[in-house]
Structure 1
Amino acid sequence: MKTLIKYRLLLVIILSFLSIYSCKKDALDTSNENVVSTDQYFQTGDELLAGANAIYATVRGINLVAREWFFLHDLRSDEVAAGGSQLEVPRGQILNGNVDPTNSVMNAVWNGLYTVVHRANTVIENGPNVTDNPGLRDRVLAEAKFLRAWAYFELVSKWGAVPLYVETVKTPSDYQDRADVDEIYGVIIQDLSEAAEILPGKSATDNGRATRSAANALLGRVLMQRGDYSGARDELLKIPTAGADGYQLTDRYLDNFEEETEFNSESIFEIVYVDKGDNDFNWGTDDSPNAAQSTIRNQEYNPVAWRNLIPSNKLLNEFENTETGAAKTDPRFSFSFYQTGDRYNNGADVLTDADQNGNASLVNGVRIKVSFRKFMILYKEDKSRASYHPGGNNQRIIRFAEVLINLAECEAELGNLSASVGYLNQVRARASVAMPPYPTAQYPMASKTDVIRAIMHEKMVELSNESIRNLDILRWRPLNYFTSEPIAYFRPGRDELLPIPTAEMDNNPELSGQQNPGY
């Protein structure tokens, strides 16, 4: 039974223009007695903790991980295709490379990330007021820095130079210009480094909260994106593999995507969702304790529900298969996807073509309907229940398998090819996967080029549809890892970044004329 974090609503402080009229009094009290200000509220550790919970609530919400965040990542990768004509226009625009500054999906993610930044800044700024529980205060401040770093990494990797706020906005004139990318990364790296010094291991905190290893793993990602493979390796190697705070691969691959096996030995950071059994989803931004705390992912990708996105043919044909010369068919294919003829609902029902709305796929020359399986709860539900059921399955953000493959990439870039192959083979040796170790006939290991090709393959098949591929493409493209461009519509000098949202351009006078190239 998972431990639930009950997120309490953070007090929202609204800045308003006050019209001051002439008065004979020496002083005019313009404070609103019905609103508690931040300097009055954040006096205890519990109050500061409530502020941190409000940051998590935003991360968990519809603008971010519950919906638009995974769409924005996946649509900018080569892992997905449209499930059919049911794909909404704003999502289709991103998938086809026709995104413009008014795109609603992109705008939602931008707004959600800056809400995370604002709430994190509120906690960080008011932390020094708390003296009753220094240990809790310091941990909460570290969590706020972790979440602010996560938000800024999302922003800078998608939009490049963005406005940088490290303090709360206090007046309507506090708009910020676009900061240099190096400056933004400097804040991210400092936040994560400081967080890693303070955050506890997983055994000493609640499930769902940031831990020291989560900070190390995210910092490893960030440093890899910056090309600092030595620094990234150092951070990734700090993650323990034994003891109460240690991580290791689960024997069963599917444990990483099912509700009953959340917070397992492989999970480093995940976002918590709760199924209240009422089919409700929070379509707004209400983050009060009584609001629905489910994720709509189970609807969006479910083979018997909306099925808005399906696996791309490229992804499906990346998996090793005996029909294409491999020594063994990779079992991660059937763990990652449903296809016509598969059983679901605890084995009671069989998936048919008619069950799956929309398009078919081409797998090893055979046309068949294939749908995503990861994070779906169809494995334990019948069609009538699963056809509309926002679920409580947690979204795993970082898991240990990614750490191992990232270490393989670091070692390859640092010239340690044998160590790199060793990390890849750990991933392939998972009990339920048991793929032949590298080198294989299809993947020789005679050169760095060979090892990089295996890393790219292993990352794609192990972590498909986990909202990581877009970051990999952005990092690997300038390193010339690809033999051909992975995104069909890609236009150099434009499509590396998304456009700054129109609303931000209109409302922030510091951004006048500073749109990203090509938009």
Structure 2
Amino acid sequence: MKHIIATLSILLMLSAGCKRDFDAANPNAPTVESFWKSSDDAVKGINAVYGTFYRTPALYSRWIYYHGILKSDEGFGSGGDGGLNNLMRFNQTNYNDGLTSLTWETLYVGVFRANQVIANVPNIPMDEGLKTRIIAEAKFLRALFYFNLTLYFGRPVILLTPSQTTDKPGNATTQEAYAQVAQDLNEAIPGLPERYTGTDLGRATKGAAYALLGKTHLQQKNYQAALDAFNWLVTGPGRQIYSLTRNYRDNFRVNTENNSESVFEIQFNENLAENTDDDVDESRTNNTGTSISQFFGPPGVGFNDGAARRWLIDEFFQETNATGGRDPRLEASFIFDNMDPRGPAFSMVYGQTFASRYGNGPNANGVWFRKLLNDHWKNEEGFRSPNNYRLIRYADVLLMYAECLNGLNRSAEAYPYVDEVRLRAGMRTLSVARPGLNQAQFLAQLKHERIVELAGEGWRWADLLRWGDLSKALASRDPEFETFVAGKHEYYPIPQRDIDLNPNLTQNPSY
């Protein structure tokens, strides 16, 4: 009986479908008009914007780290992913390649979602304080998406209202795009709280917005504007909120998340409801863990798709700490043969010694980024790591603050902020180690400080771009830069399919 009814129903739908107007709206589909009605809708809407972070694999689940870490001189494609390896060698002939085009596309998913919130939440009758906060969060998130679009693609399209299929906007300039990022952040700051608790932990705060605003200005070498933004965190109210953790490694452990040094971090959990640890496609489910640990994990515990360059290890040996030992940030940042100073037989890699895992084989000289991994509590990696990504740390803010002061030719005033970072690591203060540096010398020192403090955290490409250091000269420590073309490879190509659909969109130079 049920089978007959079901079959009849299908036949009726098929016969009706022959006369259907396919341009008509689906009456069963939710619409903008039917959704944005209550405060619950507003909260669901802003949560969906944060949900863009977890769309697999283009953003903070995996690929954003390839763009910020592996593409720089810090890392390289070390495994069998030919597409990734070619991209890291600046060899891209398919401008629709998912590694870049899907990142572009997913960032615009976030922009679209944020625009929906900004356009519709003001009209909802609800608590005005919550309304203000939600709109401010949306503007912060839109700014973060546009910051990444500008950093990696240079000339994005700026969309500030919910997009329509008939829209055909042209490229913004890099300066126009960064200006929009700054505007969104300035508008967001008054509506954002200084702190959250409970289930709201991880939402955008006032400090996060000031930090990203400072990064935005600093990336353009607008030192005074950047300094003004960072002031809230370094000399203003934020100084009572943020401080360096006593233990550097606490910034990368799953059990010490959202600590005093965290200005903004991407929240992850392990997806315990899933029965397998396979890779996740959002068409099935949203991966609220991150899969980067599986792809950055060394052989035997992960895929080894991305690894670190050996020159980074040497950078840490440029000076000893205050007691004559080595910089403790070294073993906190990398897995390598001498993590333990006694050598490979004592250096532990996921429960085994480095010597027993890799011996004298092809990986005996390997170096892997440790900060995004889980070796402190697991014996193998997987696709659903719950370890949060610390997107902006207070140590980063202090070093950027010093860079602003130096850029304004106030180098002597910048020393205490570098000293604060060095002292936490047990290093001698820069005031003692290298007093009296001029502006150029101080910048050179800051470049070193950012390597040993922030290696493998995703900011190296932005640093090199800002300093004007992207060139073939980097090939001396990263052979992939042999094929780097100045004036071209600073940015990715804009997806060709978007250009084909939009006559007002133009490709980046030299592609």
Q: TM-score, normalised by structure 2?
A: 0.85
How many Å separate the matches in 2 of 1:415 and 1:391?
A: 43
How many Å separate the matches in 2 of 1:196 and 1:467?
A: 24
Inter-CA distance 133–242: structure 2 relative to 1 (3 Å threshold): closer
**Counterpart for residue 306 of structure 2:** 309
Inter-CA distance 445–324: structure 2 relative to 1 (3 Å threshold): same
**1:283 aligned to 2:280?**
yes
**1:253 aligned to 2:248?**
yes
**How do 1:56-95 and structure 2 match up within 5 A?**
56-62=50-56, 63-83=58-78, 86-95=79-88
How many Å separate the matches in 2 of 1:357 and 1:387?
A: 23
Matched residue SS, 2:486? coil
Residue 61 of structure 1 deviates from its aligned partner by 2.3
Identity among equivalent positions (%) equals 32
Query: Quick one: which of 224, 227, 233 aligns to 1:230?
Result: 224
**How do 1:50-61 and structure 2 match up within 5 A?**
50-61=44-55
Query: Quick one: which of 440, 454, 464 aligns to 2:455?
Result: 464
**Counterpart for residue 483 of structure 2:** 489
Matched residue SS, 1:73? helix
Matched residue SS, 2:430? coil
Query: Quick one: which of 300, 306, 310 aligns to 2:295?
Result: 300
Amino acid of the structure 2 residue aligned with 1:434: G
**How do 1:64-463 and structure 2 match up within 5 A?**
64-83=59-78, 86-100=79-93, 101-170=95-164, 172-203=165-196, 206-239=200-233, 246-277=241-272, 278-280=275-277, 283-286=280-283, 291-303=286-298, 304-321=301-318, 327-340=324-337, 341=344, 342-344=347-349, 349-352=352-355, 354-355=357-358, 360=363, 368-382=365-379, 386-388=380-382, 390-430=384-424, 433-439=425-431, 443=434, 445-463=436-454
Matched residue SS, 2:316? coil
Contact 2:151 2:462 in 1 (8 A): yes
Amino acid of the structure 1 residue aligned with 2:49: I
Which stretch has the larger CA shift, 127-136 or 324-333?
324-333
How many Å separate the matches in 2 of 1:439 and 1:357?
A: 42
Contact 1:297 1:375 in 2 (8 A): yes
Which stretch has the larger CA shift, 94-103 or 254-263?
94-103
How many Å separate the matches in 2 of 1:231 and 1:484?
A: 34
Amino acid of the structure 1 residue aligned with 2:148: E
Q: Deviations over 1:145-201 (max 9, x none)?
A: 11111111111121122221111123x211211123332222111100011111001
Which stretch has the larger CA shift, 86-95 or 277-286?
277-286
Amino acid of the structure 2 residue aligned with 1:193: N
Amino acid of the structure 2 residue aligned with 1:381: K
Inter-CA distance 238–66: structure 2 relative to 1 (3 Å threshold): same
How many Å separate the matches in 2 of 1:74 and 1:479?
A: 14
Query: Any stretches of 5+ residues in structure 1 without a counterpart?
Result: 1-18, 22-28, 361-366
Residue 42 of structure 1 deviates from its aligned partner by 0.9
Amino acid of the structure 2 residue aligned with 1:182: Q
Inter-CA distance 80–478: structure 2 relative to 1 (3 Å threshold): closer
How many Å separate the matches in 1 of 2:29 and 2:359?
A: 51
Residue 389 of structure 1 deviates from its aligned partner by 5.3
Inter-CA distance 302–483: structure 2 relative to 1 (3 Å threshold): closer
Residue 489 of structure 1 deviates from its aligned partner by 3.1
Aligned residues: 472
Amino acid of the structure 1 residue aligned with 2:175: D
Amino acid of the structure 1 residue aligned with 2:51: A
How many Å separate the matches in 2 of 1:36 and 1:324?
A: 61
**Counterpart for residue 4 of structure 1:** none
Which stretch has the larger CA shift, 50-59 or 181-190?
181-190
Contact 1:163 1:176 in 2 (8 A): yes
How many Å separate the matches in 2 of 1:76 and 1:165?
A: 28
Contact 2:193 2:205 in 1 (8 A): yes
Contact 1:270 1:397 in 2 (8 A): yes
Residue 368 of structure 1 deviates from its aligned partner by 2.8
Q: Deviations over 1:277-310 (max 9, x none)?
A: 445356322486xx43111111111123112111
Amino acid of the structure 2 residue aligned with 1:235: A
How many Å separate the matches in 1 of 2:257 and 2:510?
A: 42
Which stretch has the larger CA shift, 334-343 or 316-325?
316-325
Query: Any stretches of 5+ residues in structure 2 without a counterpart?
Result: 1-18, 338-343
Matched residue SS, 2:307? strand
How many Å separate the matches in 2 of 1:478 and 1:232?
A: 21
Q: Deviations over 1:99-142 (max 9, x none)?
A: 23132211111111010111111111102211222111111111
How many Å separate the matches in 1 of 2:359 and 2:140?
A: 40
Amino acid of the structure 1 residue aligned with 2:294: Q
The structure that is helix-richer by fraction is: 2
Q: TM-score, normalised by structure 1?
A: 0.84
CA RMSD of aligned residues (A): 2.9
Contact 1:122 1:168 in 2 (8 A): yes
Amino acid of the structure 1 residue aligned with 2:242: Y
Amino acid of the structure 2 residue aligned with 1:229: Y
How many Å separate the matches in 2 of 1:259 and 1:490?
A: 37
Contact 2:155 2:171 in 1 (8 A): yes
How many Å separate the matches in 1 of 2:362 and 2:127?
A: 57
How many Å separate the matches in 2 of 1:415 and 1:178?
A: 35
Inter-CA distance 247–488: structure 2 relative to 1 (3 Å threshold): farther
